[in-house]
Amino acid sequence: MWEPEPGWLALPGGSGVSTVGVWRTVVGDSAVAVKRVAAPDEYDPAELRDPRHFAYWRRAADVATYGLVDATPGLRAPRTSVEEDSDGLTIVQDWVEDAANSGLFVAHAMGRFAGAELGHVRWLARHQLRDRLARVERRGGWTTLSRTTASDIADALWRKRARLLGELDALPQVAQHGDPVPGNLLGRDGDDLVAVDWGSLGYGPVGGDLGYYMLMAREEFEPLLDAYLLGLPPDLATRAQATLGARITAVYTVFTRADWALARVAGGEGALAAKFRHPSVAPHLRALQRQTDAVTALLDR
């Protein structure tokens, strides 16, 4: 059975179903990150074996083996190697130092990356937001938000999801990192951003990556959108299309995250409203409040 070496430093993150853990260590004279991914067994969700689902278990390893994002514009991967055994995969990549990238640099890089040609590899993720909302639907929807003062808004958005997902599908489909949280967008090499955790790489609506990213960005939406559009190749998409893709992605993602966070603390003693300041809940509620304009725009569509 595979085990980490003594002395490896365990790192936070790596919360995917297939991820065993992430560690920092040194190979030769170089610092590296080691990620262990377990092969799914018969009891794991079938989506882990679906090459187009965002949770496909071996996508990050295949991205590295194919060298698919070794030299893409805007975003690229660090040097990475993969070892495979009967129980799973071990992914070793150069350690990426935090370059303190600004949100505007990140947004511009994501816009440039949207023009990357990834080809038609069968294991690229598709319809990521649709698949995430399908998970929520199997759990009954945003059931915890229905107990809050945001219940009417949440209900209206939930009922509109099929139509708005259809509008996402009709937008230009572009290359997207798929999990563009700040912790995955750390490095910099000249004009390019060096990103990690490519397990959700695929195609999605223009503006989709920006929508995920802006939920945790310090900057406001309009400057981020301007930077993203400056990075987009000419004639790939309009401002209105990128805005719509970002808004739908951001709003449905932040409502899902807020509902999930509230559900985790809802079973404890006391009224649900008293738990809004819980440290695992408050950041998601603040992110939700920042999307007021986007929520209003979607409710008016």
Please give the structure tokens belonging to residue 174.
């572009």
Average pLDDT over residues 240-256: 98
Q: Look at the alpha carbons of 138, 144, 149, 150 in this order and tell me if their dihedral is positive or negative.
A: negative
Strand pairing category for 187-189 and 80-85: unpaired
pLDDT at 118 over 80: yes
Local structure of 181: helix, strand or coil? coil
Whole-angstrom distance, CA of residue 8 vs CA of residue 20 = 14
The residues with which 267 forms a beta bridge, in sequence order, are none
Give residue-wise pLDDT tens across range 36-86: 999 999 899 999 999 999 999 999 999 999 999 999 999 999 999 999 999
CATH topology of domain 9-94: Phosphorylase Kinase; domain 1 (3.30.200)
Local structure of 91: helix, strand or coil? strand
Strand pairing category for 192-194 and 75-76: parallel
Q: Do 34 and 92 meet the contact criterion of CB atoms below 8 Å apart?
A: yes
Per-residue model confidence (pLDDT) at position 174: 98
pLDDT band at 277; cut points 50, 70, 90: confident
Amino acid identity for residue 145 in this structure: L
Average pLDDT, the chain: 94
Tokens 């989506």 locate to 47
Architecture of domain 103-299: Alpha-Beta Complex (3.90)
Q: What is the rounded end-to-end Cα distance, in angstroms, of the chain?
A: 54
Task: State the virtual CA torsion across 65, 12, 16, 88 in degrees, nearest 10.
Answer: 50
Per-residue model confidence (pLDDT) at position 14: 61
Per-residue model confidence (pLDDT) at position 98: 95
Per-residue model confidence (pLDDT) at position 54: 94
| Domains of the chain, residue spans | 9-94, 103-299
